[in-house]
Structure 1
Amino acid sequence: MIRSYIFLLITVMIFSGNLIVGKAINELPPITIAFFRTLIAFLVVLPFGIKQFRYYYKIWRENFWPLVGIALTGITTFNVLVYLSLNFTTSTNAGIVEATTPAFAMVLSYLILKENLKPKHIIGTVVSFIGALWVLTSGSIERLLQLNFNIGDLTMLLAVIIWAFYTLIVKQHNHKFPIFGGTLAMVGLGVVILVPAVLVEWFVLGFPAQITQTSNWSGLLYLGIFPSFIALVLWNQAVSDLGPSLSSVFLNLLPFFTTIGAIIFLNEEVVSAQILGGVLVVVGVIMVNVNFKKRKMT
């Protein structure tokens, strides 16, 4: 169980760079980013997963549609929508919208999987969400009220809902698949799905000349290796162990780790509001995931 929590922390650390990198290379079209990200992930996992993929071929045939569902939601559509949203909204707005993921995952888990939700789960999610908002707005209610939600924010909201559905599918089916062979099958289907989409994008917009820039390829390599492979494996395993609603609460740590990264790599100063918000996020995550049981007197 502790291993699953460690996996989630590492995953969120990796995801914290996703919006930053996605914003940095958003001169590339969104489907192009998603396609090359997924293709790189496929090539990276291929040496690790090809043996398992061949050995468990019968499992892929029996679970073809769940794999398609995983590829359509978390591997392709979610990423395309995220990178599309960053063309129209700020990273702050996108971060706030993404912090609503646990709420959607909790509702869907209750409605579809009939997960048992305790009051501490709901309260912890609310506390963690408030902490995420506090970090992103530097503790300013006025700044929060002045946020203008545009088409990019709505696109990001749709991406969050898609990710919540992806997490539910993972919870129901991921335990059937060997870790590397399953990842290979998922990202492989993702590449297949994205090929016609990216060809249409290139036909309409033209092949992006910016793809040759070193900075863009550095960003794509990060997205392909870390969020698309390493974080995907860790996230799927954690969701299988803990469930979608409990795992998704960790996504509220995204703004917290992003702030830490900005301090370390960008020399930004931390303010008291960010410290308080970060504490609230951590407290909320602990409330949702830790069982506080009274010890019996011996």
Structure 2
Amino acid sequence: MTRAHAYIACLFVVIFYSGNILVGSALNELPPITVAFFRVAIAAAVLVPLGWRSAWSNRSAFRRHIGPLLLLTLTGVTFFNTFIYGALQFTSATNVSVLEAIIPVATALLSAWLLRERLRLVQWAGVLVSFLGALWVVMGGVVDHALGGWNVGDLIMVGAIMSWALYSIAVKRYLHLFPEYGTLLVMTSLSVAVLAPLVALEWAIVGVPELGQWAYWPGLAYLGIFPSIVALLLYNRAVSVLGASQAAVFLNFLPVVTMIGAFLFLSEAVTAAQVGGAGLVIAGVILTTRPARNKQ
């Protein structure tokens, strides 16, 4: 994959993850762990014919590197989306997408610390501009609302931010140890095992949802295929070409795409602060993804 192809892959990742937020918001009548559980269960079922041979033939690699495998699974597959669906119970799809834009800041800091990746000054400036744009949206364009503008859903998103930042680092460091489709099958299957007792506990507390309603299943199928499989494959390949920091910065486009989708499909209002923050986010992405000049 070339750098140009990696950038295109990142754009499709943004589109699919924007759909993850929009569909997750549309399904917020279902409890969050229930949505996360059926997402990974559907993904695992779809991946069986694609990945079972690879998973079986590489079973010794999975056993040998069980620690990195669990880190990849828990951060990128199991809990990242569980946090998102939990946040959508309390806050808007636009806010969730804006807060995801903070992920590159956490990823860049962790990459510099753990992977010794060096960001140029212009890239740090891009990360800062994107972060300020995201913060401006959460604050509603009013500086003294920095704390008052946050709600429970916004705070839950902190867990999602840290989960994906750690996943991005783990992808760069450990994913080469495992086969592609077989690893996705193993990670989704492990996530099913982890979430099964949690969803049983959720049902014991809030009651068993009415899963017989046909309206839920197209959305759950989308979550299980596009964000869970297609987007993850594209993102993993993009990270291997661009590095964790630059690939993660593309997530800053999420507020823009999600804002449009939320306005069109969820009837969410779009404010001037959101539009202004989205402009800053785009500017930050452009700065951060500028290629370095070759020195002769």
How far, CA to CA, are the matches of 1:241 and 1:73 in structure 2? Answer: 21
Conserved 8 A contact 2:129-2:281: yes
CA 264–151 in structure 1, closer or farther in 2 if over 3 Å, else same = closer
Residue 80 (structure 1) aligned to one of 53, 69, 82: 82
1:214 corresponds in structure 2 to: 214
Deviation at 1:46, TM superposition (A): 1.4
Residue 63 (structure 2) aligned to one of 61, 64, 68: 61
Deviates more, 1:32-41 or 1:175-184: 175-184
State how many pairs are aligned. 294
CA 137–214 in structure 1, closer or farther in 2 if over 3 Å, else same = farther
1:193 corresponds in structure 2 to: 194
CA 261–295 in structure 1, closer or farther in 2 if over 3 Å, else same = farther
- Tell whether 2:236 aligns with 1:253: no
Alignment of 1:42-121 (within 5 A): 42-121=44-123
CA 207–273 in structure 1, closer or farther in 2 if over 3 Å, else same = closer
CA 99–194 in structure 1, closer or farther in 2 if over 3 Å, else same = same
How far, CA to CA, are the matches of 2:60 and 2:294 in structure 1? Answer: 47
1:71-118 deviations in whole A, cap 9, x for unaligned?
111211111111111112233332332221111111111122221122
- 2:247 maps to a residue whose letter is S
How far, CA to CA, are the matches of 1:218 and 1:253 in structure 2? Answer: 25
Conserved 8 A contact 1:93-1:149: no
1:167 corresponds in structure 2 to: 168
Deviation at 1:250, TM superposition (A): 0.6
SS in 2 for 1:232: helix
- 2:62 maps to a residue whose letter is W
1:189-208 deviations in whole A, cap 9, x for unaligned?
11111112112222222221
Residue 39 (structure 2) aligned to one of 37, 40, 43: 37
Deviation at 1:126, TM superposition (A): 1.8
Identity %: 43
2:293 corresponds in structure 1 to: 293
Deviates more, 1:275-284 or 1:84-93: 275-284
TM-score by length of 1: 0.88
Deviates more, 1:268-277 or 1:34-43: 268-277
- 1:3 maps to a residue whose letter is H
Conserved 8 A contact 2:93-2:258: no
Conserved 8 A contact 2:34-2:199: yes
Conserved 8 A contact 1:131-1:279: yes
Conserved 8 A contact 1:84-1:152: yes
1:10 corresponds in structure 2 to: 12
Residue 129 (structure 1) aligned to one of 121, 128, 131: 131
How far, CA to CA, are the matches of 1:164 and 1:278 in structure 2? Answer: 21
Conserved 8 A contact 1:174-1:240: no
Deviates more, 1:225-234 or 1:237-246: 237-246
How far, CA to CA, are the matches of 1:34 and 1:238 in structure 2? Answer: 25
Q: Which structure 2 segments of 5+ residues have no match? A: none
SS in 1 for 2:215: helix
CA 83–239 in structure 1, closer or farther in 2 if over 3 Å, else same = same
CA 86–11 in structure 1, closer or farther in 2 if over 3 Å, else same = same
